[in-house]
Amino acid sequence: MFAPVYLDHNATTPLDERVFAVMEPFLRDRFGNASSRHEYGRHARAAIDTARAQVADAVGAHPSEVVFTSGGSEANNLFVKGAAGSQRGGVIAIGASEHPCVREPARQLVGQGWRMLELPVMATGHLNTTASAALIAQHRPRLVSAMLANNETGALSNVMALVEPMRQAGGWLHTDAVQALGKITLDFRALGVQAMTLSSHKIGGPIGAGALVVAKRVDIAAQIAGGGHERGLRSGTENVAAIAGFGRACELASQELEARATRMQAARDRLEERLLGLGARPFGGVEPRLPNTSYFGFDNIDGETLVAKMDRAGFAIASGAACSSANPEPSRTLLAMGVEPDVARTAVRVSMGPHTSLEDVDRFAETIGAMLIELKRMAAVAV
Ligand SMILES: Cc1ncc(COP(=O)(O)O)c(C=O)c1O
């Protein structure tokens, strides 16, 4: 049986059976195109309407503010390029530890009438909101994108602190809430941002669905033009099964938020206690942070090597940024936090899910403890 212990939930999560149950009919006999004017089409449209209400409900938004996309990457691209595309140019500011799917589209704007500015993060991994507010007042960006929860450190930044500076600057504020959804309470209105990105597969939903939650007054230029689906912002026949699954996953995540967070935090706290006992160096790890994420390294032990060895021992974890594990460069987030490149290369991330058990954590800690002894012995022999 294929069953390594899965401790990489910030990369993706297993599909919840209850979510799959909602999706299955749309992958079989209810296969209609939601734009069709017959029974098949009406079923598909109704499923999308339900999902839109479920997603909106989970984040305190109005259903008409939810624009379905293929995932978080597309939603971030839609905001950055779409909001930029409806304006003549100016400054776009992004957090220094944003996901590449915010950073890269922002970088692409440079030279097309846009200048890119980085908002600094602190050694804890949190956005430096005082410095950011000052930069916003000075440069008056048209657009700002600042993530709520960092995918590597789990640091939760106070994005709300940018609302007033952005109101004064007269620009739009977007937050990437992909890692926050399902782990902390999210309230689009209370946050005060004008746009927010969500992704389905981080919360027990299917890969291939996500949303940009965006206030009606924000002018966004469509990035996929065509038949005018999704308020004309994202044409293409809707992925009904994935959208329906995303909706149900949001509903379950809201209903079970507290229970899940409590369980994940218990597992994380147990892990961190044991890792500190083994001499781990935490990266970030300072409140406020996600309940499920531990990011750490052991001196002189390469993170990639540790991940590969733990994989062979039956544990699935990540080194550096999971989304860019193919890239051997040290994590940008850690460098932005002021971590030396050699130290950043030791980074390993463990991210819990609602079903991670304390037994899994104990076995993980024992295995890594044994592995450290072996790696240190090998290093001593090599000297
Ligand atoms: C913070 C953050 N934003 C965006 C994404 C991209 O989301 P998706 O995989 O749905 O494209 C990820 C994925 O890891 C993420 O962690």
The confidence band for 320, taking pLDDT boundaries of 50, 70 and 90, is: confident
Which amino acid is present at 82?
Answer: G
Calculate how far, in angstroms, residue 183's C-alpha sits from the geometric centre of ligand 1: 15
> What pLDDT digit, counting tens, does each position of 187-229 carry?
999 999 999 999 999 999 999 999 999 999 999 999 999 999 9
DSSP 28-71: TT----TT-SSHHHHHHHHHHHHHHHHHHHHTT--GGGEEEESS
- Rounded percentage of the chain residues whose pLDDT exceeds 70: 97
Please determine, for residue 379, whether its predicted confidence score (pLDDT) is greater than 90: no
Pairwise CA distance, residues 299 & 159, whole Å: 33
Is residue 211 within 8 Å of 246, Cβ to Cβ?
yes
Helix (H) or strand (E) holding 315: strand 315-316
Instruction: Report whether residue 176 contacts ligand 1, using a CB cutoff of 6 Å.
Output: yes
Q: Give me the number of domains the chain comprises.
A: 2
What is the residue with the minimal CA distance to atom 9 of ligand 1?
Answer: 72
My answer on whether 298 and 277 are in the same domain is: yes
Please determine, for residue 121, whether its predicted confidence score (pLDDT) is greater than 80: yes
- What integer is the mean pLDDT of 101-124? 97
- What integer is the mean pLDDT of 285-298? 98
Residue to mutate (ligand 1; options 13, 73, 174; most atoms within 8 A of CB)? 73
> What pLDDT, on a 0 to 100 scale, did the predictor assign at position 383?
62
Is residue 250 within 8 Å of 61, Cβ to Cβ?
no
Query: Which are the catalytic amino acids?
Result: 323
- What integer is the mean pLDDT of 157-171? 98
Instruction: Out of 188, 221, 255, pick the residue that ends a domain.
Output: 255
Domain with 97 in it: 17-255
Flag whether the pTM goes above 0.85.
yes
- What integer is the mean pLDDT of 272-291? 97
Instruction: Report whether residue 72 contacts ligand 1, using a CB cutoff of 6 Å.
Output: yes
DSSP 277-293: HTT-EESS--SSB-SSE
Pairwise CA distance, residues 185 & 181, whole Å: 8
Instruction: Report whether residue 151 contacts ligand 1, using a CB cutoff of 6 Å.
Output: yes
My answer on whether 198 and 310 are in the same domain is: no
My answer on whether 178 and 80 are in the same domain is: yes
CA dihedral for 234, 240, 246, 248, sign (positive or negative):
positive
Instruction: Report whether residue 99 contacts ligand 1, using a CB cutoff of 6 Å.
Output: yes
Pairwise CA distance, residues 181 & 54, whole Å: 13
CATH at residue 297: 3.90.1150.10
My answer on whether 241 and 332 are in the same domain is: no
CA dihedral for 194, 197, 200, 202, sign (positive or negative):
negative
- What integer is the mean pLDDT of 238-247? 98
Please determine, for residue 315, whether its predicted confidence score (pLDDT) is greater than 50: yes
> What pLDDT, on a 0 to 100 scale, did the predictor assign at position 326?
58
What ligand 1 atom has the least distance to the C-alpha of 149? 1
Please determine, for residue 274, whether its predicted confidence score (pLDDT) is greater than 90: yes
Pairwise CA distance, residues 158 & 160, whole Å: 5
> What pLDDT digit, counting tens, does each position of 50-96 carry?
999 999 999 999 999 999 999 999 999 999 999 999 999 999 999 99
> What pLDDT digit, counting tens, does each position of 323-341 carry?
444 557 899 999 999 999 9
Please determine, for residue 26, whether its predicted confidence score (pLDDT) is greater than 80: yes
CATH at residue 173: 3.40.640.10
Q: Across the chain, what does the average pLDDT equal? A: 96
> What pLDDT, on a 0 to 100 scale, did the predictor assign at position 322?
45
Instruction: Report whether residue 45 contacts ligand 1, using a CB cutoff of 6 Å.
Output: no
My answer on whether 68 and 133 are in the same domain is: yes
Calculate how far, in angstroms, residue 371's C-alpha sits from the geometric centre of ligand 1: 31
Residue to mutate (ligand 1; options 9, 80, 148, 179; most atoms within 8 A of CB)? 179
Residue 139 CB neighbours (<10 A): 16
Instruction: Out of 203, 235, 255, pick the residue that ends a domain.
Output: 255
The confidence band for 1, taking pLDDT boundaries of 50, 70 and 90, is: low
My answer on whether 83 and 202 are in the same domain is: yes
My answer on whether 218 and 346 are in the same domain is: no
Instruction: Out of 255, 270, 292, pick the residue that ends a domain.
Output: 255
Task: Give me 189's structure tokens.
Answer: 């209105």
Instruction: Report whether residue 323 contacts ligand 1, using a CB cutoff of 6 Å.
Output: yes
